[in-house]
Copies of this chain bind each other. A is one copy, B any other.
Amino acid sequence: MGRWEPNARGRLMQAAFALYGERGFEQTTVAEIAERAGLTERTFFRHFADKREVLFAGAEALQELLVSTVIGAPASLAPIDAAAVGLEAIGGFIQEGGDLARQRQAIIASSAELQERELIKLASLAAALAEALRQRGVGDPVASLTAEAAIAVFKVAFERYVDAANQQDLPTVIRESLDGLKVVTGGHSGD
């Protein structure tokens, strides 16, 4: 199973992460990543679909955690609150990685191409969340709306979490942001 040096995929990820951080994403060639990892360009593309995907390797795990958490949430919860439980779960998971998420986000913020990839991953997350809600028996317009709104909340919360100089708890920020959305849409504030 193994090969010359083990963990080729991990070495590629590490090399890419380092080079993207040092020189910037666009100024880094795939050949350079492969060279630093002791491999060839061709092998890079056997492990990752394209130059961007190496930064999004953990996305499937995140998606599975979200889906399983939402499906396993108490049946008594309203759709939006079941979604919230899922969001808090992935928030906690992300936080376990320490500063990795912040460094990764700094790289993504520096490249429009990477932002595009990030957005389609979030869209995929929303689609999976909607499907999980349907498995809870939630009807279709509601499931899509709840999922999209929940991901929107996650986006805002994660941005606040990354920008925060003060150490904030990501699941808490997510919960607060969701409460903010409820206020905004419920008409309690200004009418």
Contact = CB atoms under 8 A, between A and B. Distances in A.
A188 B186 contact: yes
A187 B153 CA distance: 17
Contact of A119 (B123, B146, B184, B188): B123
Number of copies of this protein chain within its complex: 2
Contact of A79 (B116, B120, B182, B184): B184
B146 A184 contact: yes
Contact of A78 (B159, B177, B181, B189): B189
A148 B141 contact: no
A107 interface: no
A188 B79 CA distance: 12
A144 interface: yes
